[in-house]
């Protein structure tokens, strides 16, 4: 199962279009109970936190099970600190790891991904929800910070 959790309906709909099997709005649903039930009581093996929001980072540990891993993908502000229970992580052999840019090898991975996109295998177009000329870069940044859209790009 791939379960997407977000407050924005637009992002949940996109997650379902892109392969998620379930979409949860934690404001209206008990996300922990739903994830626990969907995993047969085990908890998730991996939780990818794509938002830099402190609440998303702090809640991630409540979804993973024994040997589970929280992967921080979204970049929080540099002054953000979160609290977690280290005894729980140690007791259940859990991990927190970071993944900036997916630890990609640009020279190897970008040409491969571009070929998959060109062949219609990888749908990148539906991820782009805003295109901005360089002179509107501040608008693009503000929209991204406000959580508007999936991905905003600067067009030269």
Express each pLDDT in 1-18 by its tens digit: 899 999 888 889 988 988
Query: Within this chain, do residues 64 and 133 fall inside the same structural domain, yes or no?
Result: no
> Which token pair is 134?
């360089």
Q: Are 98 and 76 in contact (CB under 8 A)?
A: no
Query: Within this chain, do residues 24 and 58 fall inside the same structural domain, yes or no?
Result: yes
Q: Are 81 and 59 in contact (CB under 8 A)?
A: no
Query: Within this chain, do residues 62 and 129 fall inside the same structural domain, yes or no?
Result: no
**How many residues does the structure list for the chain?**
156
Query: 52-61, 104-113, 143-152: which has the minimum mean pLDDT?
Result: 143-152
- Position 7 scores a pLDDT of 87
User: Which domain range does residue 78 map to?
Assistant: 3-103
Query: Within this chain, do residues 146 and 132 fall inside the same structural domain, yes or no?
Result: yes
pLDDT band with cut points at 50, 70 and 90 for residue 64: very high
- Position 113 scores a pLDDT of 92
Distance CA 9, CA 93 (A): 34
pLDDT in tens, 66-77: 999 999 988 888
The three-class DSSP label of residue 66 is strand
Residue 150 above 90 pLDDT? no
- Position 1 scores a pLDDT of 83
Query: Within this chain, do residues 89 and 125 fall inside the same structural domain, yes or no?
Result: no
Average pLDDT over residues 38-61: 91
Query: Within this chain, do residues 41 and 117 fall inside the same structural domain, yes or no?
Result: no
Query: Taking all residues of the chain, what is their mean pLDDT, rounded to a whole number?
Result: 90
Q: How far apart are the two ends of the chain, measured CA to CA in Å?
A: 39
Query: Within this chain, do residues 99 and 110 fall inside the same structural domain, yes or no?
Result: no
Query: Within this chain, do residues 39 and 115 fall inside the same structural domain, yes or no?
Result: no
Q: Work out how many domains the chain is built from and give that number.
A: 2
pLDDT in tens, 95-137: 999 987 777 888 999 999 999 999 999 988 888 989 999 999 9
CB proximity list for 156: less than 8 A, separation 6 or greater: 133, 134
- Position 40 scores a pLDDT of 94
pLDDT in tens, 82-98: 888 899 999 999 999 99
Burial status of residue 83 (CB atoms within 10 A of its CB: 0-12, 13-18, 19 or more): exposed
């Amino acid at each position: 199962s791939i379960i997407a959790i977000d407050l924005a309906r637009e992002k949940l709909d996109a997650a379902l279009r892109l392969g998620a099997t379930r979409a949860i709005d934690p404001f209206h649903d008990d996300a922990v109970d739903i994830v626990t039930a969907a995993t047969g009581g085990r908890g998730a093996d991996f939780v990818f936190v794509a938002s830099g929001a402190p609440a998303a980072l702090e809640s991630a540990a409540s979804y993973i099970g024994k040997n589970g891993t929280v992967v921080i993908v979204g970049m929080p502000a540099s002054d953000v600190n979160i609290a977690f229970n280290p005894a729980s992580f140690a007791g259940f052999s859990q991990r927190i790891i970071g993944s900036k840019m997916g630890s990609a090898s640009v020279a190897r991975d970008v040409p491969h991904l571009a070929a998959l996109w060109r062949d219609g295998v990888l749908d990148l177009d539906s991820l782009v929800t805003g295109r901005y000329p360089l002179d509107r870069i501040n608008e693009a940044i503000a929209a991204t910070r406000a959580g508007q859209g999936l991905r905003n790009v600067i067009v030269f």
